[in-house]
Structure 1
Amino acid sequence: MKQTFTVILLLLSLLAEAQHLNLQGTVLSSSSEPLPYVNIGIRNKNVGTASDEHGKFTLELPATHATDTLTFSAIGYQERSVPVSELVGMQPLEVKLQEKTERLQEVVVQSRKLKTRKLGVTGRLPMVWGNPDQRESKDIYEFANFIQVKDRPTELLSAHFYLTSSKLDSALFRINLYRNRDGKPGERLLEERVVQRLSTSEGWVSIDLQPFAVYTDEDFFLGIEYLPATGADRRSIMLGAKLGGSSFSRKASLGNWEEFVGASLSGYVLVRQ
């Protein structure tokens, strides 16, 4: 009887393992340099993770995703999509991305007297936005505001957000700029990696964008992406908000953008027009 019980436990254990696919690998450049903070996910299914500062990633997938495709997306590199079934068989699991060669379209700022303006949501009420779900702990979450420049040649000087945390003194964030595609964030407008550790001691933080020489004459989305450390509770970071308007959020790498109406992220850009 004891032997039969042991066999049953073993079979149940094997069955549980078969219900999940465990992927552990590294994302590299074409020159075999590790790529940090790469977004890795299955599009339209809100399943994903992000590589760490050494390009390494771990992702546990239900067996139902065995026929899906995993997409790897990094700023400055061409996206790559690989079938999950192919990744499972890789030893070692290494995914290489090719660098992009395209650059931003040149925008000419006229020689008239320029003005400095704040575009976006500059206020904050005593309320905060957090992350409502505790999904994959190594995955990102991101909020984005729509910024209108009204066809004016515009230089982006800095980005500003309101952050707070009861558990962490600081956290790692990436600032993203997205083109407007059908009223939602689309492809990246800026192919530069803007990753900074920001204070979360409840207050406004500023990210200098001048070193990246960002010029545009089109409306865009300003995004702030939380890159959680291993083992960090994704709900430990919250962002300021204001009643009225709307903003977008997503809870997974390459996940679906969802619009929230009735509240908007406290985030804006300082520009010169």
Structure 2
Amino acid sequence: MSKHIFTLLLALLAFGAEAQSIKLQGRVLEQVSGKGLPYVNIGIRNKNLGTASDEQGKFILSFPQSLQHDTITFSAVGYEEVSVPVQELSQRQPLEVKLLEKVNMLQEVVVQSRNLKTRKLGVTGRLPVVWGNPEHHEGKDVYEFANFIAVKGRATELLSAHFYLTSQKLDSALFRINLYKNNNGLPGERLVEKSIVQRLTTKDGWISINLQPYGIYTGDDFFLGIEYLPGDGVDKYAISLGGKLGGSSYSRKSSLGAWEKFVGASLSGYVTVRQ
């Protein structure tokens, strides 16, 4: 008898938790054209709770009732960020959020007369026993790892990015490569407003992303990030990233989540540059 009562109690608790949650379902649109914006980061900043829009700009975000007075932020590469109170979003019918494209500012490129050299900056090795894996998190969401890249004040052209990927379940997966400014030792604002989204193989180990078409130059230290964009029906935890002992790595559990620094292991990721 007590077993049945305990089972019923668990069911009632689960129902109560569901009843106290908020679910927002809508679409993110480009303000001028009205087209859906894919892979927009959506969440409550630094609360490790968020999601990303799909290829048509559609999204579903569920969170506890206790966050009803918070603000949802919509952040997309190349667009002005928008933050809207939860209560306002819940009243929109249909729920649509429109983002305005940023005015592109030309990067200053310093041309030097000395002979330039090609270098690899970051972590170029890996150990078979060290892997970067996301922590368990409910719902469809991204996760991201990053490495610190020291440029040391040199005028630098980014040529390519490299990571070690593997999966026992998928032949390929969708990723976004992000470049962040250094904000007191953690990834901060985007270094450049470039949307670098590619489907990458997970069977060959080291993969390369050509950065030359994006014309990226910098003279400042930055963070190189790789963001996994899981699709519908895809196991978020099917991808592992190579690593090695020593150094530090950085990760966040969700869209717009807080960055955390992990000391003792580093992500197998580097950039090839011209300096």
* Shorter-normalised TM range: over 0.9
Q: CA RMSD in A?
A: 1.6
Q: Which runs of 4+ in 1 moved over 2 A?
A: 11-18, 102-105, 127-134
Map 1:24-43 → 2, pairs under 5 A: 24-31=25-32, 32-43=34-45
Letter in 2 for 1:28: L
Mapped to 1, the partners of 2:172 and 2:208 lie a distance apart of 13
CA contact (8 A) 2:242 2:267 kept: yes
For 2:198 and 2:55, locate their aligned partners in 1 and report how far apart those are by CA, in whole Å.
12
Q: 2:259 — aligned with what? A: 257
Cα offset, 1:128, TM superposition = 3.8
Letter in 2 for 1:147: I
Q: Tell me the SS of whatever aligns to 2:127.
A: coil
Q: Deviations over 1:89-146 (max 9, x none)?
A: 1110000011111425312130211100000000011124243422144210000000
8 Å CA contact retained: 1:171, 1:200: yes
Aligned equivalents of 1:163 and 1:107: distance in 2? 33
Structure 1 gap segments, 5+ residues each: 1-10
Question: Is the CA contact (8 Å cut-off) linking 2:244 and 2:267 kept in structure 1?
Answer: yes
For the residues of structure 1 that align with 2:137 and 2:152, how far apart are their CA atoms? 38
Tell me the equivalent position of 2:162: 160
The residue type paired with residue 43 of structure 1 is R
Alignment correspondent of 1:47: 49
SS of structure 1 residue aligned to 2:62: strand
Q: Does 1:115 align with 2:121?
A: no
1:123-162 mapped onto 2 (5 Å cutoff): 123-162=125-164
AA at the equivalent of 2:208: S
| CA 1:104–1:253: 2 relative to 1, 3 Å | farther
With over 3 angstroms needed to count, the CA separation of the structure-2 counterparts of 1:104 and 1:48, relative to structure 1, is farther
Distance in 1 separating the partners of 2:151 and 2:209: 19
Q: TM-score scaled to structure 2, two decimals?
A: 0.92
Please say if residues 243 and 268 of structure 2, whose CA atoms lie closer than 8 Å, have aligned partners that are also in contact: yes
Q: Which amino acid aligns with 1:258?
A: E
State whether residues 166 and 205 of structure 2, in contact with CA within 8 Å, keep that contact through their aligned partners in structure 1.
yes
- Using the TM superposition, give the Cα deviation of residue 233 of structure 1 relative to its aligned residue in structure 2, in angstroms: 1.7
| Structure 1 residue aligned with 2:235 | 233
| Secondary structure at the counterpart of residue 211 of structure 1 | helix
Q: More deviation in 107-116 or 72-81?
A: 107-116
- Measure, in 2, the Cα distance between the counterparts of 1:197 and 1:71: 26
Give the stretch that moved more between structures: 227-236 or 148-157: 227-236
Unmatched tracts of structure 2, length 5 or more: 1-11
Amino acid in the other structure paired with 1:26: R
The CA deviation string for residues 16-61 of structure 1, in whole angstroms up to 9 with x for no partner, is 5530111110001112111000000101210000000110001111
The answer as to whether partners of 2:132 and 2:267 remain within 8 angstroms in 1 is no
Deviation at 1:149, TM superposition (A): 0.9
Verify the 8 A CA contact 2:132 2:243 in the aligned structure 1: no
Q: Could you say what secondary structure the match of 2:237 adopts?
A: helix
Could you tell me which residue of structure 2 aligns to residue 199 of structure 1? 201
The CA distance in 2 between the partners of 1:191 and 1:222, in whole Å, is 14
Distance 1:138 1:256 in 2: 17
Structure 1 vs Structure 2: percent identity of aligned residues?
Answer: 71
Contact 1:48–1:136 (8 Å) recurs in 2: no
Shift, 1:231, TM fit: 2.4
1:177-207 per-residue CA deviation (whole Å, 9 max, x = no partner) reads 0000101000001101000000001410000
SS in structure 2 of the partner of residue 196 of structure 1 = strand
- Report the Cα offset of residue 13 of structure 1: 9.4
